[in-house]
Structure 1
Amino acid sequence: MIQPIFGQRIPVLTTSQVAILTKPPLAIRVTGTVTSAEDKQPIPGVNVLVKGTTIGVSTDPNGRYALDIPNDDAILIFSFLGYTTQEIEVKGKTTIDITLVEDISQLSEVVVIGYGTSDKKDLTGAITSISSEEFNQGVLTTPAQLLQGKVAGLNITKSGDPNQRPAVILRGPSTLRSGGAQEPFYVIDGVPGASIDLLAPSDIETIDVLKDASSTAIYGSRAANGVIIVTTKRAKSGQTMLSYSNYVALEEVSKKIDMLTAPELRQYLADNGQSITVAADDDGSNTNWQDLVLRSAVSQNHNLSFGSANQTTEYGLSINYLKNEGILKNTALERVIVRGNISQRFFNNRLKLGVNFTNSSSNSLDQNSFLPGISYQNAILSNMLFYLPTVSPFNADGTYKENYNRTGSGTRNPLSIVDNNIIENKNNKLLINGLMQVDILDGLKFTLSYSTQRDQNNVGAYFNSASGLAVGLGGIARRNATLNKFDIVEGYFNYDKNFGKHEIKLLAGYSWQQDR
């Protein structure tokens, strides 16, 4: 049949004339049971992960698991708190039973669980604890990226946009809504609901991921998507530390889309008895629009921290600077995070008073508009592919070449969209947390904390008169300012007592929170 393309009539095949055969990807289901070498009992909550991927599951209460793997060359990683991690090659097997051996060195490690801590050997819920030695390395803009591929059931997806947070989904989507509605609940240094954007990845000591109902119940409905507890680095007693770390990285599109060049397009049309007859659609140019709007993005990160502690006093300060260019021109993120803490113990260490603060100030150039009905990042990417390669980006007088009479795909000059539309986003986040902790009796402790967070966001958008998105309007300018606040007060008692081989833990408290 004949279809009009770029104003010409070109013979094409219809879907009824073409049969496309697809071969479904092979998948192998592997099942098995994980037991303890000490008592031969099944171990629930074991992480079973396909090495090098985010494919994984956790064992059920009977220690059983079932996992679909992409091929029989895969390697399965079995890990659980307090046990030695094992890696097993599948090699075509469909049943793999594993016996895990206790790792004595891990059993005394402490894990943060809600409003308290516990030794790894005493944990029964599905909790994964990752220390700084196990974190991912590379160009990381948010702490969530430290965990990519480390926790079964945790999926993290990052785009090439430096201003877009990675999508973090734990245990699968729990709602049809996207974005923050699917994200886990974050607790930072004991502050529930604190913004994860307040932290630099290099400031984090450990991350504990709470996945099942028994572990997350203390946080109620806020924990519907799971809980991620973050503990930042502090100086140990008797230690004074000064550290500096940095990296410089280059980010590129791994493979650009293979498009017809201008000579190839002209030849294709000629082979089919057609030509480009509209003069505005062929000025003799050979333009690669992907090369014009994409770039090799340079990122740099610098982190300086200082801390000291003794038996009664602890203090620390860290400064992090990040500059992350996007692979799309005129996109970038520049951010400075300052974090400090000081605490003092009194009365033979029975009373502890402390203050923590974190301030994150960022300035970003974005290609995602907040204006209703306008998504010009999509306009750039689509026109980058569909705009004619036979057209020059500029007229003879240096202005951007446009043909607004063209219909269908590829109607806007993508380089003009990049250069003539500016969105600048200035954001400032501040978190202050005050803490009082009293050891009342042996094993009985009272904690009172107050936290306040302020999130100020100022967005300015300007589409100038040359912009293809402001035709006939002489330009568009908009400003938008928002201020979000939350305050939280918590007071709770912890009772933790050992009776020989038995231990009792009790928690009672009250929490008040206001968002506005």
Structure 2
Amino acid sequence: MQLTLTQLLIASLFCGISLAHTLRGQEILSREISLQVESVEVSKILNQLEKQARVKFIYSTHSIQLRQKASLNVHNRPLFSVLDELFSPMQVQYEVLGSRILLRKKMVEKQSSALRITFPDRNVRGVVTDEKGEGLPGVSILLKGSQQGTTTDGSGQYSMSVAGSESILIFSFVGYVSQEIVVGNSSTIDVSLVADTKALEELVVVGYGTQKKVNLTGAVASVGAEVLESRPVANLGQALQGNIANLNISQASGALGKGSNFNIRGNTSINGGSPLVLVNGIPMDINILNPNDIESVVVLKDAASAAIYGARAAYGVILVTTKSGKKDLKPNISFTTNFSTNTPVVKFETMDALERMRYMNEANIRINGRPYYQFDEYYEKAILAHYYDPSQPETFQHPNESPTQYAFSANTDWADVLLRNSYPQQQHTVGISGGSERFDYYTSLSYFNAKGITKNFNERYNRYNVMSNLNYDLAKWIKVGTKISINASNKVYPPNDASDNFNEDRNMFQVHQWPNWPVYLPDGNYASLGSVPNVLQMHKEGGYRTRDIFDSWLTGLVKLTPVKNMTVNMDYSFNIQDTEELDYRKRLPMYDRTGISGYYPYTNPSSVTRNNYNNRYQVFNAYADYENTLGKHYFKVMAGFNQESARYRFFQAKREKLIVESMPFMDLSYGERYTSDSESEYAIRGVFSRVNYSFDDRYFLEFNGRYDGSSKFPKSDRFAFFPSLSLGWRIDNEGFFSTLRDKISMLKLRASYGNLGNQNVTGYYPYVATYTSGLAGYLINSDNPMAVYAPGLVSPTLTWETVTQQDLGIDFGLFGNQLTGSFDLYRRDTKNMLTRSQTLPATLAVSEPQANAADMKTVGFDMTVGWNKSSGNFKYGVSLILSDYRATITRYSNPSGLISDYYVGQKVGSIWGLVTGGLFQSDEEAAALDQSQINGRKRVAGDLYFVDLDGDGKITRGTQTLSNHGDMSIIGNNTPRYSYGLRSNVSWKGFDLDVLFQGVARRDLVIAGNYFVNQYNDEWGVQGKIGTDWWSETNRDAYFPRPLITGGTDVTTPQTRYMQNAAYLRLKQLTLAYTIPTAVAQKIGSKRIQVYFSGNNMWEATKMVHIVDPEQSSAMSYPLNRAYSIGANIGF
């Protein structure tokens, strides 16, 4: 199906290109002209013809007498007839070149047709300067209609060969208007390029339209393809990190195919919330896109910018625009390839057998008065023997155990057995773009492949992307287009030993197995430890898990221009996303001296489980805008309609006891069947408008409004209106500012206020009381019957969470915009957050329903500063982004004042815990302080002690309420503070260096999970190497207290000693690229060749313990990667 679609797409594309090029010249010359002039200069006649025929004439002033006067009186005549009448008397001939018409003198043939004069190649040289007369290095000079070209040197000079006087040279440079010049008889052609004001006044994509960046009144930030393409990464989130202030991007897991999480301007709601992400105007998961297909990313941060999207945009909007073709451009083929080697940032290092034996011995003394392994001298002797002499056996026969059982004395490094030190990744993209006068196209195909960290399982992820954007001008007033995006991925990863079938991070737990447990028994079978599976056996023989995703988008667009300055846009998009998960578990045997002794419980019986997710989504947009300028007054009005709907279906089936365990099919199973399914849907409908007004490019006003309705709320509270207003003042355009313009090139003040709604509440029908069903908790005639349970209480008045946001900002440019920047202060009030309502009597026997009963305030700032400078062929730039935010609960019902819940005045992210004083150095010291209410045991030398903050002579948590929290206090806050990014780029003679540092200046973290400080005797309870630094008589300044083998450890109690300083500085990206000279590339048939080396997450500085990545929160997460890659970008 996909192959057929791709073939059809490519075939249609090239047919369109061929047809467009064939008919282009004929179509131009057939355009009808009506013109009546009397004795008018030829130059003015050409201007009239250019406007009517929508063409551009190119010529040499040496060949065409522009001041010569002529007369025309034509009505609805084709252009070729008009040109014949005008130029025949002047001995001028014409030729269509693309969307241009070349005019030149007719050659007078003095010889017979068999004898023609040929002209040898000759050299043309010159200098290209800017408006100030300074030489421009790196200007592209191309001989029109060929691949021949050159570039200017450091002083703007050039030299190249041309075939004859009719040759046309095209001079182009970024930020300047391109020029086409006929060579004629000149051997020296000097060119002065004029700055392109349209290029300098960058257009930025905003909601349902574009605006000049310098005229924006909202808080908007953007990055272009040049930034994204410099980072060869797996997904767009990784490419954006550290590039936009207060766009907070995190990656909780480095597992294959895992995307990034996005947040704009900090805490959103106690119920969570993320920005609306739109790709070409439609909601899409950008983590599955090919980053090479992205043209630009725009972030709408404040309510004034995002209000146009209403119900979905409470916490900002990310607008992604994909690449498109360009009209009148020959087919341009690009190929990008990249090969990477990944290594884990955090490597798992656990205690070896001797370290763990000493640890367990010390821990057991605390409970039983003697070392753990000295309960049994046989274990201690065998472990020590193998540790000091690896040739000694890893197993032995214990005289007090069953003669069929093995006892273990190995020294296995399970991280080394199970995990790779490096794993490869590759990505390849081929694209073609171009266009004719009325048609443009962009199509790309890409492939991404990555291997996982698992050593003895072929863990892999494949992603395939097809992107196609086609646009065609049916007529001068109507344009149509299609956008097609097809994204497919396949992931294969190892099985696990628990019921959370599809959790990739579960595999990271398994490196913490006992080191004295060998991999193999002497007979070659896998070693078993009770009912715990041998993980290597599970990886090699236990089956596998897969996840296949097919995601396709089809968009049709129509753009009408019924009258001057007015456009009408309509688009319809349809999305199909199907996901299938498979959990295939083989039955794994356990072994002893007799052979198979049984089967692991989690794998017995064998089973196959399939989950299917079928999502369908459609959206229709229609909007029109009108703009005009009357004197110094500019206004633009836009209004539109939006409707979208989504349907989600889930189906699960499971069957046990496979007949043939190598064939995971339910029809080839004979055990119990289990099925479940669900379906839900929602819809949104809204109308929106925007009004822009400016006076004399000095004063700006923008109003946005949206009236939205969501099916997630009762009919009586379904619709709401969300307005916003923003103002701007371009101070630099004021008359009194003229004396400062040589220093301050741009200065603008902004202010905005707006309201937004959040419809992303829990569930799709939170206002409907629904029954639930399931198996009853009793038997009837030995059968477990189905039961239906009464619904809980719901609030019939549930409605939107509302967000009110205020923003003050300043944008500036200094020294000719070499130094640019922006600074914003904001406040966001999130009101009517969903939480439980007032407490109900216990006799009611139901929980409180949800209600709009909580408020939160967030304040913060974001800043961007950049410096760019060039000198000759040396260019460099430096940019800094910095942001911060804090959130406070301003309304919440917590009558008891529990500190484990939200409460009014709470700083979101606050960490309550105990203040650690240190380690007791003697039993007498420990006996002097009563800590028995903390984990309920007596303390001795080597235990932790806490500070008695309330002075009552004992350590307690009180009632853990605001009025009585004992010795607990707020010890930190896990909110990332002062997030920053520092980027630098340097270019010189084809070399480009791009470096990005990214980090967080302040963050407190209590590491999730026991595996940071595990002191429990279970099969996964082996500490990392860090755990060897425990207190003893000879190590009184230890990091950890004396080991404890049972529960009740103080280490896992939130406290200041083990709360981590999670601030960090990371070298996020470094890329060194070299662009091969154009002349060399052209010799091998290429327009451009660039090769590069790149590294990601190459280095970091942090005070965190080394077993946890500072960007993660758990010691057991799938690690993030360091990536080292080489690649090339080639253009044809």
Superposed pair shares fold, TM > 0.5 = yes
1:496 is aligned, of 627, 634, 639, to 627
- Give 2:461's aligned residue: 333
Question: Could you tell me how far 1:432 is from its partner in structure 2?
Answer: 0.3
Q: Tell me which residue corresponds to 2:254.
A: 160
Tell me, yes or no, if structure 1 residue 219 matches structure 2 residue 309: yes
Q: Contact 2:441/2:469 (CA < 8 Å) preserved in 1?
A: yes
| 1:414 paired to 2:535 | yes
Q: CA 1:371 to 1:253, structure 2 compared with 1: closer, same or farther past 3 Å? A: closer
Map of 2:569 onto structure 1: 447
What is the CA-CA distance between 1:336 and the residue it aligns to?
A: 0.7
User: What do the CA deviations read for 1:55-95 (whole angstroms, capped 9, x no partner)?
Assistant: xxxxxxxxxxxxxxxxxxxxxxxxxxxxxxxxxxxxxxxxx
- The yes-or-no answer on 1:207 pairing with 2:297 is yes
Identify the match of residue 122 of structure 1 among 191, 215, 220.
215
Give the match for residue 612 of structure 2.
Answer: 481
Which amino acid in structure 2 is aligned with residue 443 of structure 1? N
Q: 2:284 aligns with which of 191, 194, 197?
A: 194
Return the offset for 1:173. 3.6
1:275 counterpart = 2:366:
no
Aligned-pair CA distance for 1:262: 2.3
Q: Among residues 478, 494, 502, which one is paired with 1:351 in the alignment?
A: 478
Match of 1:400 among 517, 522, 526: 526
Residue pairs, 1:194-343, within 5 angstroms: 194-239=284-329, 240-266=331-357, 273-275=371-373, 277=376, 283-295=408-420, 296-329=422-455, 330=457, 331-343=459-471
Partner of 2:201: 108
Contact kept, 8 Å, 1:140 with 1:146, in 2: the verdict is yes
Select between 193-202 and 149-158 the one with higher mean Cα deviation: 193-202
Q: Is the 1:198–1:358 contact (alpha carbons within 8 Å) kept by the matching residues of 2?
A: no
SS in structure 1 of the partner of residue 344 of structure 2: coil
Q: Deviations over 1:162-185 (max 9, x none)?
A: 1222222222242445xxx63321
Give the TM-score normalised by the residue count of structure 1: 0.72
Structure 1 counterpart SS, 2:614: strand
Cα displacement (A) at 1:267: 5.8
Unaligned runs of 5+ in 1: 1-102, 406-410
Letter in 1 for 2:508: L
Contact 1:251 / 1:327 at 8 angstroms: preserved in 2? no
The answer as to whether partners of 2:502 and 2:545 remain within 8 angstroms in 1 is no
Q: Deviations over 1:367-417 (max 9, x none)?
A: 5889965566444322312x1111112234444322235xxxxx5433344
User: What secondary structure is seen at the aligned counterpart in 1 of 2:234?
Assistant: coil
Whole-angstrom CA distance in 2 between matches of 1:147 and 1:334: 22
SS of equivalent residue, structure 1 residue 355:
strand
* Corresponding position: 1:507 with 2:638: yes
Q: Does 1:383 align with 2:510?
A: yes
Structure 2 counterpart SS, 1:492: strand
Who wins on radius of gyration, i.e. which is larger? 2
CA distance in 2, matches of 1:210, 1:367: 40
Provide the rounded CA distance (Å) in 2 between the counterparts of 1:291 and 1:430: 40
Contact 2:349 2:415 in 1 (8 A): no
**Which amino acid in the other structure matches residue 244 of structure 1?**
F
Q: Deviations over 1:19-58 (max 9, x none)?
A: xxxxxxxxxxxxxxxxxxxxxxxxxxxxxxxxxxxxxxxx
Matched AA of 1:170: I
Query: Aligned partner of 2:333: which letter?
Result: L
Distance (whole Å) between structure 2 residues aligned to residue 222 and residue 376 of structure 1: 29
Bigger shift: 309-318 or 424-433?
A: 309-318
* Shift, 1:346, TM fit: 2.5
Tell me the residue number matched to 1:147. 240
Measured in 2, the distance between the counterparts of 1:480 and 1:462 equals 12
Taking the aligned partners of 1:176 and 1:421, their CA distance within structure 2 comes to 40
User: Equivalent residues in 2 for 1:466-477 (5 A)?
Assistant: 466=588, 470-471=601-602, 473-477=604-608
* 3-state DSSP of counterpart to 2:519: coil
More deviation in 497-506 or 206-215? Answer: 497-506
Note the C-alpha offset of 1:156.
1.5
- 1:333-364 deviation line (CA, Å, top 9, x unaligned): 101101112221022x3110111111111110
The alignment partner of 1:440 has SS state of coil
Task: Report if the CA contact (8 A) 1:139-1:299 is conserved.
Answer: no
Partner in structure 1 of residue 193 of structure 2: none
TM-score using structure 2 length: 0.34
C-alpha separation between the residues in 2 aligned to 1:469 and 1:439? 70
Matched, 1:361 2:475: no
Are 2:306 and 2:313, in contact at CA under 8 Å, matched by a contact in 1?
A: yes
Q: Which residue of 2 aligns with 1:65?
A: none
Contact 1:379–1:414 (Cα < 8 Å) also in 2: no
- Determine the C-alpha separation between the residues in 1 that align with 2:494 and 2:275: 27
Q: Is the 8 A contact 2:585 2:603 kept in 1?
A: no
**Following superposition of structure 1 onto structure 2, how do residues 6-17 of structure 1 map, counting pairs within 5 Å?**
none
Q: Which amino acid aligns with 1:428?
A: F
Q: Is residue 136–residue 148 contact of structure 1 (8 Å, CA) maintained in 2? A: no
Of 174, 188, 204, the match for 2:268: 174
Task: Encode CA deviations 1:316-336: one digit per residue, 9 max, x unaligned.
Answer: 210010001222454321011
Distance 1:316 1:269, change over 3 A: closer
Residues 238-292 of structure 1: CA distance to partner in whole angstroms, max 9, x if unpaired? 2231100111111112342332222444466678855274667853322111112
Alignment of 1:88-103 (within 5 A): none
Alignment size in residue pairs: 403
How far is 1:129 from its partner?
Answer: 0.9
Higher mean C-alpha deviation, range 104-113 or range 250-259:
104-113
RMSD: 2.8
- One-letter amino acid of the counterpart of residue 512, structure 1: Q
Residue pairs, 1:21-36, within 5 angstroms: none
Percent of residue pairs bearing the same amino acid type: 27
Q: Summarize the Cα distance change of 1:401–1:241 in structure 2 as closer, same or farther, 3 Å threshold.
A: same
d(CA) in 1 for partners of 2:564, 2:605: 74
User: For residues 205 and 454 of structure 1, do their structure 2 counterparts lie closer, same or farther at Cα, with a shift above 3 Å needed?
Assistant: same
Report the secondary structure of 2:562's partner residue.
strand
Unaligned 5+ runs, structure 2: 1-195, 363-369, 380-397, 399-404, 590-598, 648-1132
SS at match of 1:400: coil
Which amino acid counterpart does residue 352 of structure 1 have in structure 2?
K
